[in-house]
């Protein structure tokens, strides 16, 4: 889900002409800053994808089929007939999506009934698991791949440092760059887990279905995410900082409240009724919308991604790692755009899967990469136009899938044939 | 988290917390402390809390150097003598490289 933190002019009574001029100017500014933020989001998304692809290419662990599957995808895909395989993958995808929907509803219920502590604890545990356990496995595989010896003592120190500083940066206070780096790393870790444990057809199906679900959940009036946002708005509070990547630190304007940093930490820590940090008194202010949407979106993502289970129960929780919510800033310079970590994860998963299993290899990978970036551009453009929370998955994933299948099945044989006949175009 | 926007007491408090946290076997935290507060401590025009922040940054840097020295020594020893240590070496190892050492 994508949220732009645009300061909209407060709803004050001004003469119509002036208002319109202001609006136009604002539009222009928005689009201009929109472009800047597109670029700001390109970098982390690209980085995440690069990390995932690099790992897939070098560490064979993530492409090996150990025969292990997640509980959520119990049907194997190495069956005798194509029909059987198709059926199995559809069933797997259905189970996964159902789990995700259920988790999202649970989250919305928890939020509605103000069980904030539960949600926070959940998020905390997920990030704990992700930062410690998954990075441990990742390091192990990397060392094995490069045939390096490593002793437990050094390893313990490394993992301990990585994990604790990560928890601090994400849930408490830390330098912005480091926080962004950690968010990218955990997204990459999660995407790798997905790539390893989801069989092929299931993975593609899940991507497709999730994009559709995303669209519905965020835009339909009865969608769980929408309900979440509306509830947050009614209560006039930001939703707990979940997995959200923000391009800049944005500060909320609140004349009375001088305690910025506290708020930052409290935001990260608890979705409580904080003194309203809204840029404008209008309840539909972007910042609130943002908060609501992105988080619900994110949590939804979490759910989505979350329910993976082979040995690790809390994958979903992993997703639910809170990121410190950046307060919104007063001047125009630092309006940021926020992108849910789930979006990162799915983009990387698509590109990673493409690089792992495509016969066209780098062609396909690059094509998917470009497709996703184009999709992201378009989504951000729409965001600048509509100024409300939008699902970031559908367009990008749709393009990505189209490009993947097209490149793999059409472009690559074409290129091969050309090369074979030494015919250069 | 943008340091610019914090009042000085908060900066001091943050620096201090990072410094104290580093004692829990967290040299990385000290590294983050040094890098993050370097500009605050040394390159900014002085303000009341700056002296203390400087002290914390210096001590974090010291602790960091110490840790780096210890770790480098240990890693060198380990990598060099691992094969010779036989059983103990294997017991200590997290991953054992294949092939002949």
Q: What phi and psi values does residue A2 have, to the nearest 5 degrees?
A: -120, 135
Tell me, yes or no, if A343 is annotated catalytic.
Answer: yes
Question: Contacts of residue B21 in chain A, CB cutoff 8 Å?
Answer: 164, 168
Interface predicted TM-score (ipTM): 0.91
Sheet strands (E) in A46-198 = 150-151
pLDDT at A313: 31
Q: Do A354 and A346 touch, CB atoms closer than 8 A?
A: no
Shortest distance between the Cα of B92 and any Cα of chain A, in A, equals 5
Query: Which candidate from B28, B36, B82 shows the least CB-CB separation from A175?
Result: B36
Nearest to A165 among B29, B71, B82 (CB): B29
Which of A139-153, A184-198, A228-242 comes out lowest in average pLDDT?
A228-242
When comparing pLDDT for A229 and A301, which is higher? A229
Q: Give A165 or A30, the one with higher predicted confidence.
A: A165
Which pLDDT value is given to residue A243?
A: 58
How much of chain A exceeds pLDDT 70, in percent?
Answer: 71
Q: Mapping DSSP to helix (H, G, I), strand (E, B) and coil, where does residue A245 land?
A: strand
Is the pLDDT at A8 greater than 60, yes or no?
Answer: no
Rg of chain A (C-alpha set):
22
What tokens does B21 get?
């946290």
**Radius of gyration of chain B measured on its C-alpha atoms:** 19
CB crowding A212-245: b at 16 or more within 10 Å, else e:
ebbbbbbeeeebbbbbbbebbbebebbbbbbbbb
Question: pTM score, two decimals?
Answer: 0.77
- HEC string of A77-108 equals CCCCCHHHHHHHHHHHHHHHHHHHHHHHHHHH
Best CA proximity match to A177, nearest among B32, B89, B100? B32
User: Which backbone phi and psi does B100 adopt, to 5 degrees?
Assistant: -90, 130
pLDDT of residue A293: 38
Buried-exposed string B61-100: b where 16+ CB fall within 10 A, e elsewhere = bebbeebeeeeeeeeeebeeebeeeeeebeebbbbbbeee
The pLDDT score that the predictor gives to residue A135 is 93
pLDDT band at A208 (very low <50, low <70, confident <90, very high): very high
Averaged confidence pLDDT in chain A: 74
- Assign A53 a pLDDT band (cuts: 50, 70, 90): very high
> Which of B36, B95, B99 comes nearest A144 by C-beta?
B95
**Mean pLDDT in residue range B58-74:** 94
The contacts found for A174-180 with CB under 8 angstroms, 24 or more apart, are A174/A324, A174/B1, A174/B32, A175/B1, A175/B32, A175/B35, A175/B36, A176/A248, A176/A249, A176/A326, A176/B1, A176/B2, A178/B32, A179/A323, A179/A324, A179/B1, A180/A44, A180/A245
Q: What is the pLDDT of residue A149?
A: 84
Greatest mean pLDDT among A27-41, A113-127, A311-325 lies in A113-127
Options A289, A290, A343, A408, the catalytic residue: A343
Beta bridge mates, A339: A2, A245
CA-closest candidate to residue A181, choices A375, A335, A43? A43
More confident: A348 or B42: A348
Q: Give the pLDDT confidence score for residue B45 in this predicted structure.
A: 82
- What pLDDT does B17 receive? 92
Q: Which two tokens stand for residue A121?
A: 């604890």
Does A80 participate in catalysis according to the annotation?
no
Round to whole Å and give the CA distance between A20 and A15: 9
Mean pLDDT, to the nearest integer, of A90-112? 88
Mutate to test the interface with B, among A131, A171, A175, A331 (most CBs of B within 10 A): A175
Residues from B contacting A (CB-CB < 8 Å) are: 1-2, 5-7, 10, 14, 21, 24-29, 32, 35-36, 71, 74-75, 78-79, 82, 92-99
Contacts of A174 in chain B (CB under 8 A): 1, 32
Is residue A122 pLDDT above 90, yes or no?
no
Q: Are the C-beta atoms of residues A259 and A266 closer than 8 Å to each other?
A: no
Q: Which residues pair with B95 in a beta bridge?
A: A150
Average pLDDT of the segment spanning A265-278: 31
Residue that wins the pLDDT comparison between A120 and A272: A120
Catalytic residue among A214, A289, A290, A408: A214
Using the predicted structure, report yes or no on whether residue A279 has a pLDDT greater than 50: no
Q: Are A165 and B28 a contacting pair at CB < 8 A?
A: yes
Average pLDDT over residues A358-377: 87
Q: Which tens digit of pLDDT belongs to each residue from A321-335?
A: 333 333 333 444 445
């Amino acid at each position: 889900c994508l949220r732009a933190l645009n300061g909209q002019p407060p709803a004050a009574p001004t003469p119509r002409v002036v208002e319109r001029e202001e609006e136009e100017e604002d539009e222009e500014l928005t689009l201009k800053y929109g472009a800047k933020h597109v670029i700001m989001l390109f970098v982390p998304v690209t980085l995440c994808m690069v990390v995932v692809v690099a790992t897939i290419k070098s560490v064979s662990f993530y492409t090996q089929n150990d025969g292990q599957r997640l509980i959520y995808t119990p049907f194997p895909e190495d069956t005798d007939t194509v029909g059987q395989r198709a059926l199995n993958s559809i069933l797997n995808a259905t189970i996964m999506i159902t789990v995700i929907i259920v988790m999202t509803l649970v989250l919305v219920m928890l939020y509605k009934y103000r069980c904030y502590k539960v949600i926070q604890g959940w998020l905390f545990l997920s990030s704990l698991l992700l930062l410690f356990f998954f990075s441990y496995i990742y390091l192990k595989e990397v060392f094995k791949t490069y045939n390096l010896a490593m002793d437990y003592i050094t390893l313990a120190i490394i993992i301990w440092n990585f994990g604790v500083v990560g928890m601090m940066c994400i849930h408490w206070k830390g330098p912005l760059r480091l926080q962004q780096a950690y968010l990218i790393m955990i997204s990459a870790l999660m995407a790798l887990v997905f790539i390893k444990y989801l069989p092929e057809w299931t993975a593609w199906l899940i991507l497709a279905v999730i994009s559709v679900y995303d669209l519905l959940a965020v835009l339909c009036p009865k969608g769980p995410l929408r309900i979440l946002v509306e509830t947050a708005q009614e209560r006039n509070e930001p939703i707990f900082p979940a997995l959200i990547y923000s391009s800049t630190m944005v500060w909320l304007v609140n004349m009375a409240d001088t305690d910025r940093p506290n708020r930052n930490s409290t935001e990260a820590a608890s979705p409580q009724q904080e003194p309203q940090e809204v840029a404008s008194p209008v309840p539909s202010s972007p910042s609130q919308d943002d908060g609501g949407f992105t988080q619900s979106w994110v949590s939804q993502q979490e759910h989505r991604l979350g329910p993976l289970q082979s040995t690790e129960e809390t994958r979903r929780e992993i997703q639910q790692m809170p990121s410190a919510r950046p307060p919104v800033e007063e001047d125009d310079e630092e309006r940021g755009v926020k992108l849910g970590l789930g979006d990162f994860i799915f983009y990387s998963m698509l590109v990673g899967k493409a690089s792992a299993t495509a016969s066209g290899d780098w062609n396909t990978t690059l094509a998917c990469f470009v497709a996703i970036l184009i999709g992201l551009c378009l989504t951000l453009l729409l965001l600048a136009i509509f100024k409300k929370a939008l699902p970031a998955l559908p367009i990008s994933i749709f393009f990505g899938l189209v490009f993947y299948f097209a490149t793999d099945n059409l472009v690559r044989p074409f290129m091969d044939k050309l090369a074979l006949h030494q015919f250069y175009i | 988290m943008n340091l610019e926007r914090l009042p000085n007491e908060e900066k001091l408090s943050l620096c201090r917390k990072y410094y104290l946290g580093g004692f829990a076997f967290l040299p990385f935290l000290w590294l983050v402390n040094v890098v993050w507060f370097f500009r605050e401590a040394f390159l900014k025009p002085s303000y009341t809390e700056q002296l203390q922040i400087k002290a914390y940054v210096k001590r974090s840097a010291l602790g960091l150097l110490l840790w780096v020295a210890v770790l480098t020594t240990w890693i060198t020893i380990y990598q060099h003598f691992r094969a010779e240590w036989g059983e103990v070496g294997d017991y200590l190892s997290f991953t054992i490289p294949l092939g002949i050492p």
